[in-house]
Structure 1
Amino acid sequence: MMKYRLFTIPLALLLACSAERPVTSTSRAFEGSLGTPPPKAAAPKLARYAMVVSAHPEASRIGTQILQRGGNAYDAAVAVQFALAVALPAAGNIGGGGFLLYRDRNGSAGSLDFRETAPAAASRDMYLDKQGNVVPGLSTAGPLAVGTPGTVAGMVALHKLMGKLSWPALLQPAVALATRGFPLTAKEAAGLNKTRVDFEKYNPGNVPAYVRPGGGDWQPGDTLRLPELARTLTRIRDQGRAGFYRGETARLLLNEMKRAGGLVSQADLDSYRAKWREPLRGRYRDYDVITMAPPSSGGVALLQMLQMLEPVDLAQAGYHTPLAVHYITEAERRVYADRATYLGDPDFGLVPIQKLLDVDYNRQRAGTMRSRGRATPSSDIVAGANLPSYESNETTHFSIIDALGNAVSCTTTLNGGYGSKVVVPGAGFLLNNEMDDFSVKAGTPNAYGLTGGTANSIAPGKRMLSSMTPTILTHNGKVALVTGTPGGSTIITSVLQSILGIVDYGLNAQQVVTAPRLHHQWMPDLLDVEAGALLPVAQDTLRARGYQLNPALPWGRLDIIHVQPDGTLEGGADPRGDDTALGY
């Protein structure tokens, strides 16, 4: 497994770049006139033995029951994944893919890549017109946006290697949930109503169950029943992988591809394989960091940012002060420039991970930050020199720790909310729109404003680049933090802020997930700011120093588990969604 040491730079040298005089203690830092007070939040959920934190109360309930019945964290992960496919149609899925990171009770760690792949009939310029321009919407909705799904193969691979309970026992709760139905939350009712027009547009002649029978709007508390999805889950329960990639489910999926002009074929389904990959390892302060390797960009970018921030005493600088925001933002913009240039599927080209995580390389990158806390225009920043040349807010994440000490961090997605909006007739599940996570055209931003290059161009069988960043931190050989979030391009920076909140600022788990966030991704040159993240005086100071602040609606759904020194599990469930922490 790859492990990277962090460089050190004298704090006095770094702080000389700022106009503020840093205070001398963490408590005084929070009281500074430019810093935001620690976020107010409900008390975190506490548990002694095991915990599940996911994006829906039904999924957390099912996962916790699996643990109480003697299942391990990997069993619970399978059950939670399929429960989310029922209860969270905006992002939970069997028609998408994702990444899972684990750390077992004996200290070994690994990761599973069940990211979607481009169909064999896909081509580099498939979303361009005759003039070479991107055709709007072609890669984001409808049948051409669909990549070969990986979720079912991923869960089968996880259970085969690491599961304890029987496969049918893990699938049955999701089957029952889809059959009997469940009450819609206010957020999910609003999401389904907002998407109704797209459901009708991309499913002509096949009104899916996600459209309210008889017309009109869904109301909170209405029961959503998914009988077609229940039958599909039953086939997966009884037949395993073949219940999805072969037989009746595959026939229904391929019929829809043929009818609508999609590219996924039986050969694509047969050839799809989830891949076990070595995770990346690094260190921040006195914590070991385990995170995801490419084709996720998240782990590389996260470790780069932690390397750049390691020498900065963020606790001394203060929480969300202009000084702290300066260093965090400047690290982010440099890392996202590298992401756009160098990262892609390692099975299809050279991804220079060793160089990107090299001590001297990141020292040089951090050394280009401007003095006195001033912004570096993104137009002045390019990817680092001398290296080899070469996505949705509706992803979802869950974190699990079992009574034995096994930990799972899993991020899974359809990409955009409700994916491609295509529901397979007779099978009842939504298909992804992950093809938009490729660089449809080098230098052209995708749906989330992320710019990519040729390293992430479309090719048959290739996995599209992702921002998903499932991450586990250990301290003194024991799991200390399990973290991750949806949020497209904001995933990496949100995971970073969860780590800083725990390690540097001493926040509890619920404070971390509740706290308003900040985000910069190089291009566009904007610092996104959630309401309440910065005091007005801090905003004025940052604007005066060249930062372009962009007020943004809330993003992400951080779901984390923080292990306290006495072993108590502290769950943080993001209030931006219906996220729920449960344990015992």
Structure 2
Amino acid sequence: ARDFVDDANSQGGALTIEDMRAYLPEVRPAITLPYIERTQFLFPSPPVLGGALAADLSGILVQSKYFELDGADRTHVFAEATLAAQARRTDWLRRDGLVTQPAYYLVDADRHAMIASALDEDRHAQRPPAGDAAIPLPPGADATGIVAIDQFGSAVACTVSMNGAFGSGKVAPSLGLLLARPSGKDSLPPVTATPLLLVGEARVKKDEERVFMAATVTGGPGATEALADLALRVSGGGQGLESVLAGPRLYYAEGTDALVIEPGLPKDQQAALRARGHTLHPGASGVRINAIYCDSGVPNENQACAAFADPRGFGLGAVGDR
């Protein structure tokens, strides 16, 4: 610890051994979103903003049952739901980034059902928030995600960041560690980077509990949407993890009426979206998801899991089976 303090200060830091002793992990209860067949999604609670964003959008999507639809019907309802989530962000988020409502509000099924019931299945009726109702998200720093599930049902989903590419760009001389960039006005921590777990409800017998999914998302605009879409289509729609992960993504750019789509979205779906009133803007996705999905849950005598890194990572993501 003293070597680290000396190294950090030699590179322009202002760290003391007392700072190191006072730096302790903090345990907070997760945001718990009830799901299907006695399962629940777990998201990180505030002040981490990504978990609140993902829980709110996922709740709206669960109530819309969009993942039971096919093709253009599914993409249309999904797009409308994501824009509705943006517009209703003022229900629980202040412009300075402070979450004003408790966790149970973010997973309120009645509220989500009300929002979902207002989605028009035939035309683009949602509008982007404007004026005081618009709460744009700051870009924040990029991050990386790590997921793991073992044969006993222990699971980890974690996102970490150095608050900038290669952190501060400085190395601790004696330890060889890259030093993180201090967070501040010009160096915000990740905003939408989010870990997620899908688990069975707590049981009386501990050995009957199951974990089904561990996933993380990083990468900025469209991250919350991509994570919720993958989690629900794989677990609720029965679609393959690898195909959903590699498939085209779409999201409404913050505060605009522009539906950003990846070029791989089928032409017939693009035409159907335009016919319903969406304005499409082709663009590549900078979002990266790592995920593990176990259809029957773990632990299980016949457990089978799939694990994939996002192909958009160009090989920088890695998957290990041991």
TM-score, structure 2 normalization: 0.78
Contact 2:63–2:109 (Cα < 8 Å) also in 1: no
- Which secondary structure state, in structure 1, belongs to the residue aligned with residue 194 of structure 2? coil
Q: What is the match of residue 46 of structure 2?
A: 294
Contact 1:294–1:465 (Cα < 8 Å) also in 2: no
Residue in structure 2 matching 1:435, options 183, 194, 197: 183
Q: What is the match of residue 307 of structure 2?
A: 571
Residue in structure 1 matching 2:281, options 542, 550, 569: 550
CA distance in 2 between counterparts of 1:316 and 1:393 reads 34
Q: Note closer, same or farther for the CA distance 1:339–1:415 as it changes in structure 2 (3 Å cut).
A: farther
Q: Note closer, same or farther for the CA distance 1:289–1:283 as it changes in structure 2 (3 Å cut).
A: same
Larger relative contact order (CA 8 Å, sep ≥ 6) = 1
Q: What is the match of residue 361 of structure 1?
A: 111
Residue in structure 1 matching 2:197, options 447, 466, 472: 472
Alignment of 1:486-497 (within 5 A): 486-497=218-229
Contact 1:300–1:357 (Cα < 8 Å) also in 2: no
How far off is 1:305 after superposition?
Answer: 2.0
CA distance in 2 between counterparts of 1:310 and 1:465 reads 26
CA distance in 2 between counterparts of 1:556 and 1:398 reads 15
Q: What is the match of residue 333 of structure 1?
A: 83
- Percentage of identical aligned residues: 24
Identify which range, 363-372 or 544-553, moves more after superposition: 363-372
How far off is 1:491 after superposition?
Answer: 2.8
Q: Note closer, same or farther for the CA distance 1:575–1:403 as it changes in structure 2 (3 Å cut).
A: same
CA distance in 2 between counterparts of 1:330 and 1:419 reads 37
How far off is 1:338 after superposition?
Answer: 5.0
Q: Which residue identity lines up with residue 224 of structure 2 in the other structure?
A: I
Contact 1:341–1:383 (Cα < 8 Å) also in 2: no
- Which secondary structure state, in structure 2, belongs to the residue aligned with residue 549 of structure 1? strand
How far off is 1:276 after superposition?
Answer: 0.9
Q: What is the match of residue 299 of structure 2?
A: none
Q: What is the match of residue 251 of structure 2?
A: 519
Residue in structure 1 matching 2:59, options 297, 307, 318: 307
CA distance in 2 between counterparts of 1:494 and 1:525 reads 18
CA distance in 2 between counterparts of 1:312 and 1:358 reads 14
Residue in structure 2 matching 1:255, options 10, 14, 38: 10
Contact 1:467–1:491 (Cα < 8 Å) also in 2: yes
CA distance in 2 between counterparts of 1:354 and 1:377 reads 26
How far off is 1:341 after superposition?
Answer: 7.5
Q: Note closer, same or farther for the CA distance 1:278–1:378 as it changes in structure 2 (3 Å cut).
A: same
CA distance in 1 between counterparts of 2:56 and 2:269 reads 26
Q: What is the match of residue 321 of structure 2?
A: 583
Q: What is the match of residue 156 of structure 2?
A: 408
Contact 1:483–1:498 (Cα < 8 Å) also in 2: no
Q: Note closer, same or farther for the CA distance 1:423–1:529 as it changes in structure 2 (3 Å cut).
A: farther
Q: State the structure with more CA Rg.
A: 1
Alignment of 1:21-420 (within 5 A): 242=1, 247-257=2-12, 264-266=14-16, 268-286=19-37, 287-319=39-71, 321=72, 323-337=73-87, 339=89, 342-343=92-93, 350-370=100-120, 372-379=122-129, 391=139, 394-420=142-168
CA distance in 1 between counterparts of 2:198 and 2:81 reads 20
CA distance in 2 between counterparts of 1:401 and 1:282 reads 20
Residue in structure 2 matching 1:536, options 236, 258, 267: 267
CA distance in 2 between counterparts of 1:519 and 1:538 reads 14
Q: Note closer, same or farther for the CA distance 1:551–1:419 as it changes in structure 2 (3 Å cut).
A: farther
TM-score, structure 1 normalization: 0.46
State whether structure 2 residue 223 is matched by structure 1 residue 503.
no
Q: Note closer, same or farther for the CA distance 1:518–1:416 as it changes in structure 2 (3 Å cut).
A: farther
Q: Where in structure 1 are there 5+ consecutive unaligned residues?
A: 1-241, 259-263, 385-390, 441-445, 448-457, 459-463
CA distance in 1 between counterparts of 2:183 and 2:258 reads 26
Q: Where in structure 2 are there 5+ consecutive unaligned residues?
A: 202-208, 297-301
How far off is 1:275 after superposition?
Answer: 0.6
Instruction: Give a deviation string over 1:323-380, Cα, whole Å, max 9, x none.
Output: 3223222322333455578448xxx885443333333433343344356321422145
CA distance in 2 between counterparts of 1:519 and 1:341 reads 21
How far off is 1:400 after superposition?
Answer: 0.8
CA distance in 1 between counterparts of 2:106 and 2:15 reads 37
Q: Note closer, same or farther for the CA distance 1:498–1:343 as it changes in structure 2 (3 Å cut).
A: same
Contact 2:64–2:116 (Cα < 8 Å) also in 1: no
CA distance in 1 between counterparts of 2:112 and 2:65 reads 18
